[in-house]
Chain A
């Protein structure tokens, strides 16, 4: 069931009606409506998917309870201990048991994810993709997202961040809540727990705000991302030695726009859908193309994956005693700054390697992850050198001009990364870089596009251009701390309805000029 289908709209209306009716007449139990709707949604997307999500939910729920029991047993045992030394030994003993239980949960759940997501790609590397070993399973909807959410829950239980959920049905709702299943965000249990189970009454102001968010998402997805799809394909899908670098750069720039429109548009839609139920899901984007460094970009793009990686991979890795020892070595041999950042740099490269693998096991994703990790690590390692250079050149890094320069520099770095992301074939990738540098050839730009025509090229570009202007204006307002949604909702009715009309007309037009309806790029991850 796709988000843009009539089927989904009817499903949503029925779920909302049942949800608010139960809230009004029964006064409690709205979460049960959400659970039934989520299971129904998942069943409609393929009943086989249910097996996987139930397995993940059950194993992680049981492990959460087991960790809590071990904590309790540890406390009781330590209360009986004769002295401090015995208490310490008991603590270490129970900590080891907890670690083994956690490890089992991680291995089991990542093994399932690894099998359905990477197994066939790995067989492909070995030339065995057509053998009996190949998996016939389709990637279950949202498995990366709900696996990461569930694993995050288990690690938080391990760290004693919150007590485990004792009711399996309630926990299952956290894992399977349908708005987050298509492409995230990767919600945290402690952010969702109260919202999912408390009573929500229908609130017209909240519904208007949610519909506006959905409308903004529709604009980004259909009037920007989808209308550019064919032009991007024509620019990047048949790269040879004669493809001008200018066309490749054009295609990559459009791909950068398409990625943002598709992913953030989809997130706006699902966050809007969730808001209709009175539940605020985590935001995944904060004007990423206004970032002033690549590290800053990753704090604004796919935020929930970034914070998941930071909390559950980066910090645990970077503060490991072995890496901190490496820092000491670095301080002694390479200077204070390098010494203090060495473990962070290594942790960062590992994180981005995993982010690359999260998108797929193909080589280009690994390269893309490494590119991001190495650039960020190197820029931090060289921070004192850059600061010194700025002082020598008398550059005011706090000026507006420098900020614009930093935004443009970051945008360029992001676009270089998009080469790795978009061009799956290593030969194409190398050729694309080569042509960009030695065969830019802007004079052949128009003739190449004429030779590789795209249906409704001008209309698609014009639509995306107007869409980008609207998104840019909203982004500037948000970057300045203005609540753009609230401003629009408070605007005079004629202005508001003109804006709604424009957005709807653009979305409607996109269906007639562009290749729409191709699903979401991130739904495949």
Chain B
């Protein structure tokens, strides 16, 4: 499913936490820009917006450290579904 764009994901992330420059920050989790509540809010938004199931095993820093990584995760999960 290649119709989910990077911009779609950034828009969704800004809706959850707007004070982050998602184009440049690459340590969203490791740098503590996002906490576990934010991660759940993002997963909730992904589920709502793209009808994708994110399981607990996908919640690792590598998948959430940047908007690009989150976009890759969403695209991968959409293809798996």
> Are B56 and A315 in contact (CB-based, < 8 A)?
yes
Contact of A315 (CB < 8 Å), options: B35, B36, B44, B47: B36
Is A327 interfacial (CB 8 A cutoff)? Answer: yes
Q: Chain B residue with minimal CB distance to A342?
A: B44
Query: Is the CB–CB distance between B40 and A347 below 8 Å?
Result: yes
Check: B53 CB closer than 8 A to any chain A CB.
yes
User: Cβ of B48 < 8 Å from any Cβ of A?
Assistant: yes
Please encode chain A, from 342 to 368, with 1 for each CB lying within 8 Å of some chain B CB and 0 for all others.
011001100000000000000000000
Which B residues, 5 to 46, have Cβ-Cβ distances below 8 Å to chain A? 16, 35-37, 39-41, 43-45
Taking a contact as CB atoms closer than 8 A, the residue among A299, A316, A327 that contacts B44 in the complex is A327
How many Å lie between the Cα of A339 and that of B15 in the bound state? 13
Interface size classification for chain B: 10 to 19
B contact patch SS:
helix
Write out the residue numbers on chain A whose beta carbons fall within 8 Å of the beta carbon of B48.
Answer: 328, 331
Using Cβ atoms and an 8 Å threshold, which residues of chain A touch B41?
A: 340-341, 344
**Which residue of A is nearest B37, CB measured?**
A344
Q: Which residues in A have their C-beta under 8 angstroms from that of B78?
A: none
- Given A324-B47, A340-B16, residue A319 in contact with residue B55 (CB < 8 A): yes
B36-72 interface (Cβ within 8 A of A):
36-37, 39-41, 43-45, 47-48, 53-57, 59
Measured in the bound complex, the distance between the Cα atoms of B58 and A159 in whole Å is 9
Instruction: Give the CA-CA distance A327 to B37 in the complex, in Å.
Output: 13
- Complex Cα distance, B70 from A425, in Å, reads 49
Residues of B near A331 (CB, < 8 A) are 48
Least distance between B18 CB and chain A CB atoms (Å) = 11
Residue of A nearest to B53 (CB): A321
Give A314 Cβ to nearest chain B Cβ, in Å.
Answer: 6
Once the chains are docked, how many angstroms separate the CA of A161 from the CA of B63? 14
Distance in Å: Cβ of B68 to nearest Cβ of chain A: 22
Number of A positions contacting B (CB below 8 A): 25
Work out how many contacts link A and B, with CB atoms closer than 8 A.
Answer: 50
Q: Which residues of B contact A319 (CB under 8 A)?
A: 40, 43, 54-56, 59
Given the complex, which residues of B lie within 8 Å of A347, measured CB to CB?
Answer: 40
CB-based contact B37/A380 at 8 Å? yes
Q: Give the distance to chain A from B14, nearest Cβ to Cβ, in Å.
A: 13
- The answer for the CA separation of A347 and B47 in the assembled complex, in Å, is 18
A208 close to chain B: CB less than 8 A: no
A170 within 8 A of B: no
- Between A161, A311, A327, A340, the greatest number of chain B beta carbons within 10 A of the residue's beta carbon is seen for A340
Query: Which chain B residues border A340 with CB–CB below 8 Å?
Result: 16, 40-41, 44-45
Interface status of A295 (Cβ within 8 A of chain B): yes
Query: Inside 8 A of B39's CB, which chain A residues have their CB?
Result: 315
- Within A429-458, the residues touching B (CB, 8 Å) are none
**Does B44 contact A343, Cβ atoms closer than 8 Å?**
yes
Please determine whether A344 and B40 come into contact, CB atoms closer than 8 angstroms.
yes
Distance (Å) between the CB of B5 and the closest chain A CB? 22
Q: Which among A299, A328, A343 is the interface contact of B40 at CB below 8 angstroms?
A: A343
Encode A505-524 as 1/0 by CB contact (under 8 A) with B: 00000000000000000000
- Across the interface, do A314 and B44 meet the contact criterion of CB distance under 8 Å? no
Within residues 373 to 401 of chain A, which ones have a CB less than 8 A from any CB in chain B?
380
Pairwise interchain contact A318-B40, C-beta atoms closer than 8 A: yes
A341–B40 touching, CB < 8 Å: yes
CB within 8 Å of B: which residues of A?
159-161, 295, 299, 310-311, 314-316, 318-319, 321, 324, 327-328, 331, 339-341, 343-344, 347-348, 380
- Sorted nearest first, the 9 A-B pairs with minimum C-beta distance are A159-B57, A344-B40, A316-B56, A340-B41, A315-B56, A344-B37, A318-B40, A315-B59, A327-B44
Please, could you name 9 A-B residue pairs with CB atoms under 8 Å apart, sorted by A?
A: A159-B56, A295-B35, A299-B35, A315-B36, A315-B56, A319-B43, A319-B55, A328-B48, A340-B41
B interface residue numbers (CB < 8 A to A): 16, 35-37, 39-41, 43-45, 47-48, 53-57, 59
Other 20 A-B pairs with CB < 8 A, given A315-B56, A340-B40: A159-B56, A161-B57, A295-B37, A299-B35, A311-B56, A314-B36, A315-B36, A315-B40, A318-B40, A319-B40, A319-B56, A327-B44, A331-B48, A340-B16, A341-B40, A341-B41, A344-B36, A344-B40, A344-B41, A347-B40
